[in-house]
Amino acid sequence: MASKPAAALLATDMRAKQVSSPPPYTATGGLSAGSGIRQARRILEQVADPEIPVLTIADLGILRALRWRHDRLQVIITPTYSGCPAMQTIADDIRAALNRNGYTRVEVITQLAPPWTTDWLSAAGRKKLLQYGIVPPAGSTSKQSLRVPVTGLACPRCQSANTEEISRFGSTPCKALYRCNACLEPFDYFKCL
């Protein structure tokens, strides 16, 4: 191969392309709609949440659905709470990840109903949160937990239940700041919404 003149090499390559190469990969044309969606979902399952980078948007349940509309891939997302400032970043990250993988026509649609609940947080996501030092939401979708401090949360470091709320809003609006009275370490609590 290496000794062939460049022109001959090019001609061989072109012949090979004409005869045996598969149709060019494009997300909309080269793949069936179904496999294109499956591949897009696998790509999006790697997109990290900008506020809690150990979690993906799939872990959080922000990623709701994927569908083709004509030649456009629509990605349906639901914010963890309305007005979440991270949503623009998430939409940009979704488009960038898909664009990198050949999906050129991508539309990100924000769907507010039904509203996101912490029930959509995956089991794997809850585990990752705790390993990251953020206590995952206690119980399920009790709206009370937004207003009333949650008591008896186990400290992610020493497991003591002797913890108290310091601030209703932690490093981001969807987290509250707690402190452990046993080891005196502060920690974030991912609030139920």
Draw the binding track, 22-51, toward Zn ion (x: CB under 5 A; -: no contact). ------------------------------
Smaller CB separation from Zn ion, 16 or 184: 184
Smaller CB separation from Zn ion, 158 or 166: 158
Residues 6+ apart with CB under 8 A from 123: none
**Dihedral sign from CA coordinates of 83, 86, 90, 92:** positive
- Binds Zn ion (CB under 5 A): choice among 158, 164, 168, 171: 158
Which range binds Zn ion by CB under 5 A, 19-27, 33-41, 65-73, 176-184? 176-184
Q: Which secondary structure element, helix H or strand E, spans residue 59, and what is its range?
A: helix 57-60
CB of 123 closer than 8 Å to CB of 89:
no
Helix (H, G, I), strand (E, B) or coil at 144: helix
Residue 161 near Zn ion by CB under 5 A: no
d(CA 110, CA 76): 6
- Binds Zn ion (CB under 5 A): choice among 75, 129, 155, 174: 155
Residues at the contact surface with Zn ion, assessed by CB under 5 A = 155, 157-158, 160, 180, 182-183
